Amino acid sequence: MSEPSTPRRAFVTGGSRGIGAAIVRALAAAGHEVVFNYRASEGPARALCDELTAADARVEAVAFDVADRDAARAALDELLARDPTPFQIVVHNAGITRDAPFPALAPEDWDAVIATSLGGFYNVVQPLVMPMVRARWGRIVVLSSVSAILGNRGQVAYAAAKAGLVGACRSLAREVARRGVTVNAVAPGLIDTDMLEGVPLEHALGLVPMRRVGRPEEVAALVRFLASDEAGYITGQTIGIDGGMAP
Ligand code: NDP
């Protein structure tokens, strides 16, 4: 029998759509208060808040670009000034692709991909770590990708950013392990979200032993588990959720 998790305050980046929205729903359903961020999708963010508030969840959305260090800092400071309860669950999910063969990869695309995934990790997770350490309980979960493990044509920037997150998680896990804070990455394969638009699925599914795409809810269930009390002895790991793509 699994124990219900103690309710905590959670922060999720990129919660307005796709996997992030499923994570927000899963954490709210587990009884956590959830603050999520988004960059542009105000309508979907509001709709998600309305949906969860109607179900008696405590949820709030804040708009800022995770790649913008000052904006992230200002938003987090404002949230903690209003309510100093530490965020003891932090999920860095926001990420973008700008696929192109490497010789044709524009510098601004390299910068945007790295700044969102890897810069976003620093800009959001770093300010929230010390309060978690002081509370002696924390869960940090980061969305990496199967591309970080296998590599993928056209995704040199994306794979670099997502592999960078794996290294960051492993190192941070060692720094905070004795303080009750775990740090893990999840590495999804092909998940059915807007991010798959334009991906030639007939070819891509040939690389998936299960021959199907994953659902955002399947990734969210893994994240919810890693954020739970029960997952307290798992840290520094990268857990694949990819229908068998990566060995
Ligand atoms: P989507 O494109 O469906 O959603 C991305 C989310 O991130 C949106 O909520 C978006 O906000 C937000 N976001 C993007 N850039 C920023 C930014 N600079 N600042 C704040 N928020 C931002 O992506 P998925 O749900 O598919 O992906 C979620 C994560 O999972 C990503 O990190 C992705 O790399 C990873 N992943 C996805 C896979 C897939 O097949 N779908 C496979 C492997 C990994 P807004 O709506 O405002 O734009």
pLDDT number for residue 191: 98
Question: What is the Cα–Cα distance from 224 to 13, expressed in whole angstroms?
Answer: 15
241 CA distance to ligand 1 middle (Å): 16
As for ligand 1, residues whose beta carbon falls within 6 Å of it are: 13-20, 37-41, 65-67, 93-96, 116, 143, 145, 188, 190-191, 193-196
Q: Which of 99, 97, 98, 95 is nearest to 117 (CA)?
A: 95
93 CA distance to ligand 1 middle (Å): 6
Report CA torsion sign: 237, 139, 4, 19. Answer: negative
3 CA distance to ligand 1 middle (Å): 30
Query: pTM, whole model, 2 decimals?
Result: 0.98
Residue type, 66: V
pLDDT number for residue 5: 80
**Alpha carbon nearest to ligand 1 atom 41, residue:** 191
Q: Which of 3.40.1410.10, 3.40.50.720, 1.10.3470.10, 3.30.70.940 would CATH assign to domain 9-241?
A: 3.40.50.720
- Consecutive 10-residue averages of pLDDT for the chain (247 residues): 81 98 98 98 98 98 98 98 97 98 98 98 98 98 98 97 98 98 98 94 95 98 98 98 96
94 CA distance to ligand 1 middle (Å): 4
In Å, how far are 4, 110, 144, 146, 241 from 29, measured between CA atoms?
Answer: 11, 36, 24, 27, 21
**Alpha carbon nearest to ligand 1 atom 27, residue:** 19
Phi, psi of 114 (to 5 degrees): -65, -40
233 included as an active-site residue = no
Helix (H) or strand (E) holding 20: helix 18-29
For the chain, the distance separating the N- and C-terminal CA atoms, rounded to the nearest angstrom, is: 30
Mutate which of 62, 93, 201, 245 for ligand 1 pocket (most atoms within 8 A of beta carbon) = 93
> Beta partners for 183?
140
Mutate which of 193, 208, 212 for ligand 1 pocket (most atoms within 8 A of beta carbon) = 193
Q: Which of 29, 28, 61 is nearest to 43 (CA)?
A: 61
Q: How many CB atoms lie within 10 A of CB 198?
A: 9
CB 159 within 8 A of CB 151: yes
Question: What is the Cα–Cα distance from 61 to 44, expressed in whole angstroms?
Answer: 10
Question: What is the Cα–Cα distance from 57 to 245, expressed in whole angstroms?
Answer: 35
DSSP-derived secondary structure letter, 190: S
